[in-house]
Chain A
Amino acid sequence: MRAAAAIAARDLRATFTSPFGYGLVAGYLALAGVLLVVALSAGEARLDGWFAPLSLLTGLLAALLTMRTLAEEERTGSLELLLSAPVRAGNVVLGKLLGVTAVLGVVLAATVTAPLVTAALGDPDAGPIITGYVGVALVGVAVAAIGVAASASTANQLVAAAIAAGVLLATWFGGALAGGLPGAPGALLRYLSPSTHVDGFLRGTIAIADVVYFGSAVALGAVLASLVVRVRR
């Protein structure tokens, strides 16, 4: 666990000492600001219309952040060093995942100005704001886990990002397209879609089924990434 924390701290430092990290975070925050303007222009002091696209944006940010995790290490040749160290594969993956989660945490903390501005202008319901952040964070961590697995299985950063973003977008819009599809295929596509499971968080509810869904995605991504790392060792 200590090894995982050390890897996470190193990755967090690396992100916030590079122009790439700052540029990415600033771009994300600027887009989040634009989304806030669009959401509030509906004339209601509610942020579910902001959290919904923000969760997708956070998922895409997670895909971009994770593309550098193991694929970057492989490109620079430091992966061999990392894998030859007396650290278990699970700890390497956990460290990488915690590092991206910490970056996402910092980024989401910076968006807290959005609810503060909304509260200063109107009277939003606090419950959905709290659960909205939980939902957005869960989407981010779930995509990060899939991204780490993708990053572990390829040396090409762009391919890693494309896999994670592709899984996110395919399941997200697959669920939306399944709206009119009857029977089991429609229900399956809807269930697989993160947008289905994040909806409750945006309204102020935390359902067991939704938490299990995101928890499963994180666990599956982490396990698959560990297995890939173990095979490559």
Chain B
Amino acid sequence: MRRRRALAAGLVAVALVVAVNALAARSTAQVDLSASRRFSLTTETRDLVKAVVRPLRITAFIYERGGAARDARFLLDRYRELNDRIDYRLIDPDEKPAEAKRYAVSSYSTVVVEYDGRRADAPEVSEVQVSSAILRAMRGDRQRLCAITGHGEPRFDDDGPGGLSTLAQLLDDNGFEVGTIDLTGGGAVPEGCRAVLLLGPAVALAPAEVSALQAYAAKQGRLLVLGNSGLDSDADLNPLLEPWGISISQAIVLDPQRSVQQDPFGLVVQRFPTTNPIVRAVPSLQLTLATGLLAQSDESKGLTVSTLATTSDAGYLDADQSLTKTAADIRGPILVAAAADASRVSGPSTIERTRVVAVGNSHFATNEFIDDLGNRRFLLSALLWLTEQEQLLTVGAAPPQPRQLPWTNERQATVVAVAVIGVPGAVLGVGAAQWLVAKRGRERGRRRRRQDRRR
């Protein structure tokens, strides 16, 4: 009887546990103590994910064995929890190069979102980037980009080293449609251009072209200007850039501490002194034969200019063209990329906004260099920022901070000494001491008992 009652009580307990867990499993409530609460999806993301009505696949190209992969898996699980139409997978580009090639992915931490036959890329597995890519893939509208031609610019249909066919593919993959416009014959920038690209003109623009572009920029225009030094170009882009707080030099930038494989003209840029989202996930840039910029904000006019990327302190602008550092040169850090954002009130409830991104180099966008370091990521982020898609969601999640701990022999010795030998040894020591004390106590007791018996 007692056994039967116990069995019944046990079954009731099991049923209760199953019921409580079934209810709890539906809950997504959690306390997030991670830095910047990066594993808690915001309301905006939750609403977005609920709107996914067809299968959506997220493919993250990431080193599969690292901590970043574990974090990515955990974050993407949160998306899948909210909507089972969302599926994800992690692919290590080194282990599955064919898959990476199929997606035209060349760098780690790239995320590809596929939805309804459309694709959008994100540069990292963070909530803001993944959610923005989901939104872009779901929206599906294509942003028209107008590239200026007629001045010896590299071509989008050129698949040679100096061409832009890789950039064209990148833009196509991310919902942009690139067309060319020729303003040499006069006329204005056509309606419908979401942004205008001026990528490395070799010869000067005609005054009428400059005027047309100035007029376009002043009227909520979006400009991506990649200029070059006097070695590559005769074009003076200052009339176009100066109204937006940016001026561009003709001299070449050199940085002996950051040159590429002893090539003084190849420049590795690793300093991004700004919070602008364009460079948030860019680890470094590789520029070739770059020139320098100057940037000046003017808050009274609502103009904010971000210094996107600079050389190291050892870099300099080779003003006297001697290719060595002299007193006449301008000392570093030299600005090589800048972004201007000008907002102004144009009506009772209308705010006009102009955005300009300028880089003192166009070669980094060509097929030869676009896959070097973070060049591809920078270009995509710049265009997303220009077209105001950089943060489609007002997600407050900050990007994950790298917490590097280079593993040296000295560090290993410290950890082994403390954690493998020290602490367990101390516990054994305490145990041995206690055993000795107890043993002595027992011996003393025995001796006392013997003495008592003798008495």
Interface residues of chain A, those whose CB is within 8 Å of chain B, are 16-17, 19, 21-23, 25-27, 29-30, 32-34, 36-37, 40-46, 48-49, 110-111, 113-114, 117-118, 121-128, 130-131, 191, 199-200, 202-209, 212-213, 216, 219-220, 223-224, 227-228, 230-231
* Interface residue? B272 (CB, 8 A): no
Knowing A37-B412, A49-B67 touch, does A216 contact B17 (C-beta < 8 A)?
yes
Are A207 and B420 closer than 8 Å at their CB atoms?
no
Highest count of chain A CB atoms <10 Å: which of B10, B406, B418, B424: B424
A203 to chain B, nearest CB (A): 5
A-side binding surface: helix, strand, loop or mixed? helix
Are A32 and B419 closer than 8 Å at their CB atoms?
yes
What chain B residues lie within 8 Å of A121 (beta carbons)? 405, 411, 414-415
Are B431 and A127 closer than 8 Å at their CB atoms?
no
Interface size on B (CB < 8 Å)? 56
CA distance A199 to B70 in the complex (A): 9
B440 to chain A, nearest CB (A): 14
Are A207 and B29 closer than 8 Å at their CB atoms?
yes
B5 to chain A, nearest CB (A): 9
* Interface residue? B101 (CB, 8 A): no
Considering the complex, which residues of chain B in the window 368-418 have a beta carbon less than 8 Å from any beta carbon of chain A?
Answer: 401-407, 411-412, 414-416, 418
Known: A37-B412, A48-B70, A212-B20. 6 other contacts (CB 8 A): A41-B412, A49-B70, A205-B32, A209-B25, A213-B21, A231-B6
What chain A residues lie within 8 Å of B425 (beta carbons)? 26
What chain A residues lie within 8 Å of B70 (beta carbons)? 48-49, 202-203
What chain A residues lie within 8 Å of B103 (beta carbons)? none
CA distance A37 to B10 in the complex (A): 44
Are B32 and A22 closer than 8 Å at their CB atoms?
no
B378 to chain A, nearest CB (A): 25
For B403, give its contact among A21, A125, A130, A223 (CB under 8 Å): A125
Knowing A26-B427, A208-B29 touch, does A40 contact B435 (C-beta < 8 A)?
no
User: 17 A-B Cβ contacts within 8 A?
Assistant: A33-B420, A33-B421, A37-B415, A44-B67, A45-B405, A49-B67, A111-B423, A121-B405, A200-B30, A204-B33, A206-B30, A206-B31, A207-B28, A212-B24, A220-B17, A224-B10, A231-B3
Are A131 and B431 closer than 8 Å at their CB atoms?
no
* Interface residue? B27 (CB, 8 A): yes
Are A110 and B423 closer than 8 Å at their CB atoms?
yes
CA distance A38 to B411 in the complex (A): 12
What chain B residues lie within 8 Å of A114 (beta carbons)? 419
A134 to chain B, nearest CB (A): 10
CA distance A41 to B400 in the complex (A): 20
B451 to chain A, nearest CB (A): 26
* Interface residue? B149 (CB, 8 A): no
What chain B residues lie within 8 Å of A207 (beta carbons)? 27-30
Interface 1/0 per residue, B1-16 and A, CB below 8 Å: 0110010011001100
What chain A residues lie within 8 Å of B74 (beta carbons)? 199-200, 203
Knowing A121-B414, A124-B403, A199-B74 touch, does A204 contact B39 (C-beta < 8 A)?
yes
The residue in chain A whose Cβ has the minimal distance to the Cβ of B8 is A227
- What is the number of contacts between chain A and chain B, taking CB atoms within 8 Å? 175
CA distance A49 to B65 in the complex (A): 10
CA distance A17 to B435 in the complex (A): 8
For B419, give its contact among A42, A113, A224 (CB under 8 Å): A113
Are A127 and B420 closer than 8 Å at their CB atoms?
no
What chain A residues lie within 8 Å of B39 (beta carbons)? 200, 203-205
Are B6 and A227 closer than 8 Å at their CB atoms?
yes
CA distance A180 to B24 in the complex (A): 24
The residue in chain B whose Cβ has the minimal distance to the Cβ of A112 is B423
What chain B residues lie within 8 Å of A227 (beta carbons)? 6, 9-10
What chain A residues lie within 8 Å of B35 (beta carbons)? 125, 127, 204
Are B40 and A205 closer than 8 Å at their CB atoms?
yes
What chain B residues lie within 8 Å of A111 (beta carbons)? 423
Are A209 and B416 closer than 8 Å at their CB atoms?
no
* Interface residue? B430 (CB, 8 A): yes
Knowing A40-B407, A207-B28 touch, does A131 contact B33 (C-beta < 8 A)?
yes
Are A22 and B431 closer than 8 Å at their CB atoms?
yes
For B34, give its contact among A22, A125, A212 (CB under 8 Å): A125
3 A-B pairs with least C-beta separation: A22-B431, A204-B34, A127-B33
For A117, give its contact among B9, B10, B30, B419 (CB under 8 Å): B419
What chain B residues lie within 8 Å of A125 (beta carbons)? 34-35, 401, 403
Knowing A208-B24, A212-B21 touch, does A44 contact B403 (C-beta < 8 A)?
yes
Are B407 and A128 closer than 8 Å at their CB atoms?
no
Are A213 and B24 closer than 8 Å at their CB atoms?
yes
B74 to chain A, nearest CB (A): 5
What chain B residues lie within 8 Å of A26 (beta carbons)? 424-425, 427-428, 431
Are A17 and B438 closer than 8 Å at their CB atoms?
yes
Knowing A32-B419, A110-B427, A206-B33 touch, does A42 contact B412 (C-beta < 8 A)?
no
Are B67 and A33 closer than 8 Å at their CB atoms?
no
Are B21 and A216 closer than 8 Å at their CB atoms?
yes
Are B407 and A220 closer than 8 Å at their CB atoms?
no
Interface 1/0 per residue, B424-451 and A, CB below 8 Å: 1101101110110010000000000000
For B427, give its contact among A29, A127, A228 (CB under 8 Å): A29
Are A219 and B33 closer than 8 Å at their CB atoms?
no
Knowing A33-B424, A213-B24 touch, does A128 contact B418 (C-beta < 8 A)?
no
B290 to chain A, nearest CB (A): 31
For A17, give its contact among B28, B32, B405, B434 (CB under 8 Å): B434
B397 to chain A, nearest CB (A): 13
Are A191 and B405 closer than 8 Å at their CB atoms?
no
Knowing A124-B403, A191-B25 touch, does A42 contact B414 (C-beta < 8 A)?
no
* Interface residue? B66 (CB, 8 A): yes
What chain B residues lie within 8 Å of A110 (beta carbons)? 423, 427
The residue in chain B whose Cβ has the minimal distance to the Cβ of A49 is B67
